[in-house]
Amino acid sequence: MIDTTLLQAAFLGVVEGVTEFLPVSSTGHLILAGELVGFDGPIATVFDVVIQLGAILAICVLYFQRLWSVLVRLPNDPDARRFALLIAVAFLPAAVIGFLLHDFIKTVLFSPYVVCSSLIIGGIAILAIERLKPVQIFHSVEQIPYGRAVAIGFIQCLAMIPGVSRSGASILGAYMLNVDRKTAAEFSFFLAIPTMLGATVLDLWKARHLLDPNYGLTIAIGFVLAFVSALIVVKWLIGFVSQHTFVVFGWYRIALGVLLLGWFAVYGVAVTHG
């Protein structure tokens, strides 16, 4: 018989990979999914952190040629240096604010009720932004002005509230700042690499006392499935955003948030982890 914990790990790995780069909040979905399947305790804290690396690896694999090209051309090519600097300045707000507020975020905001409320508010925000239809001026990452990159970085910090969605905040933030949908999505993916890697390293350092070799197989299963599912979703999302709005995600967030608020009101919350 298969260990229940391994099945839970497989399920949560897919949840992470599917939701990490969609504007629906992977952290929020992991908190809620963990509550619903009873995956909690020290292993949940470490597991949720490590499997994010699987999603980051998916971006590195899918965009390897472009990232490698930028790295090789960095010393001599102004476009390569501009690309790297845009990602760096957009990452800085999350690096500073995330470091300063890490403990507050983890101990106070990681609540299913916060997640549900953020899902609903974020869904309403998506619907409102889509109605505005901002003019799309910038059609490549290299065209984004430095000031707008910094602004996108600050908007991304809203996702430190579980349920907001890092990808949703950065993509829609860029879209509001006149970046076309496809470029906004790609900028969000590239920005995810230092942002998520930095957050993962900090989280692992804070939770180092919980690291246990006995968790190895469970975490490995979640990592692999997060990687594979993220590969599939990112490929699909690039094609989707080129031809569609985010309205469907807005309504999904609202429906899920309302449904789960009702669920927790009736059945209660088992435990909050993270």
pLDDT band, residue 268 (cuts 50/70/90): low
* 187 class by beta-carbon count within 10 Å (0-12 exposed, 13-18 middle, 19+ buried): buried
pTM of the model: 0.85
Q: Which amino acid is at 135?
A: V
Please give the Cα distance from 10 to 225 (Å, whole number): 7
Question: What pLDDT shows up at residue 272?
Answer: 41
DSSP, res 274: -
pLDDT value, residue 2: 55
Average pLDDT over residues 77-99: 92
213 φ, ψ to 5°? -55, -25
Domain segments of the chain as ranges: 4-267
What's the CA gap between 257 and 163, in Å, rounded?
A: 9
What residues have CB less than 8 Å from 242, skipping those under 6 apart? 181, 182
Report the distance separating Cα 108 and Cα 173, nearest Å: 25
**pLDDT tens-place string over residues 37-79:** 877 766 777 787 888 889 999 999 999 999 999 999 998 999 9
Helix 4-19 and helix 42-50, axial crossing angle in degrees, nearest 10: 40
